[in-house]
Structure 1
């Protein structure tokens, strides 16, 4: 089935493979019409009924125009259109009995539409792929057998085999093109998401982050509530920067190696990644969330424990993945976490918990003065 239109898809109109396929069919229909008209007019003096021949060609021309118009518009591309297309095609094939003498038909004379009749088969193959092409080929074959009075000639069999092979090939190509079309839709959506994220990042950087940085810098020289406000601004600045650098949190298809996602974080001085030699596979969306949580935890280390060394340890269990972020900084006083929790202000810590909680996992934070901090992320598979 053709892919459905996607909201926000900003592809240039008229460049999808669906449109390309129907345009190619329309071009082939008119080319074969020209061939059929030329062939029949050249033979017009030898047929049994020139009037029926001209009438059949006129029907073929009118239907070529009408069907090409309808196929070019998705809302008109209904099953009724395909059935009518095949019915008109079969009628032009059967009209050969009115145009030609039995002797000329038995001698292997072409049907009136000749290769034009294959366009209906191709339309069915484009719409319903291989199965549709085979069904239309059966109908066209039955009409050709009727024309030759149940005694198909060698030429008839040869032509039907060619149409059958064409239906199979076009049906397969249609299936592949639709897969390509879906990939194009995904690519355009991803490109739009990246552009939107970059736009928001610029706005945040130019506005919110600068204000938070200013509050943090000015408030650090104050006492009491002013210093507390500066610390809160610093936490929110860290959270926003981690969000901006973590990429989109929207789930995506496939699986990713978590170790590979975390490797860029270990490129910073003072950060060491310890991971299994084998890939640690997670769904792509879950992997992105875990990597963002780890990035937020490491940013918190650099913010509150400058100069501290940090380790990111990845462990793979049977039904879960365990990621631990440890540092050798001054640690977090126990009352600090309790006070922040009571006031509903957990800053980056809350952003880490929220990400992992949405994945069905848990976060355990362990810290003591002068013993560093350990953030343990447990994510189920």
Structure 2
């Protein structure tokens, strides 16, 4: 629009000079054109001026233009860019009043140039102005709504990012809690039980007591390795040898205090089978640790069986024991009297990978805990 204003001003001046060579009005027309261009450029250069300053600038431009049109009606077409400048600069009512004034001046100038009454010159400019003004105001309203929508989207994105950070922090805290429960806490619990067992038979069966102490030392050594790896990257230390060896190592550590844990690995999911994703392996190992810790501490079982099976689209981990059993609640929860993170942690780990946990138990007939984790894309 600014470029159109200067173009129309230059064309109108050229037309005036060609139509009226040597006219007495020529010096005034050239001077007023220069003054109008100077005022207009000054306003464009001072873009940092206040809103009130821009309104004063627009009124000066219009005032100089009105004088120029009174001198030479051919300059009336410079009003077209001024319409839009007024609509952008002034409040809506003031802008519409200015548009009406400019339209009236254009009509008067065109009738003066024609030298006769012409209905087209009277009705044409107002019709064009009404359509152009309506289009501009509609676009302006849409721009305002779009800016408001963008602001809402930016604010919503910031709030969502903050919520995601909070949820991520809570999820990380929960994950750390489960990691500590399934590693250091369980290892310390095993050490405590072994040392208590050694203390009970220290005088009567010193060889058995020393065996318990050696087992406790082995558990402490493993806990130390877990703690160092935990600090390093929170990855299970046992998984360095693969999931099969990790599960057998967990079963061996839990086979103490009268509990024997047998391990059965499906050949398809063993060391010769496809490699499961690291997250799945880590979750299965932690679930096995948590389940066997519950068996040892709460079930009173003498035998437990750990079975890992790889199906076409999922991997299944079953832990069965011959303990006292319990009545599963709805929603599922730990048996009465059992405290800690055991079953909730197992369910949380499975659910994080889209898996499910089912518990079948009857008082006096043992318990079977089954965890199924889907494998994206099926067996590779």
Question: Whose radius of gyration is greater, 1 or 2?
Answer: 2
Task: Return the TM-score normalized by structure 1.
Answer: 0.41
Task: Return the TM-score normalized by structure 2.
Answer: 0.41
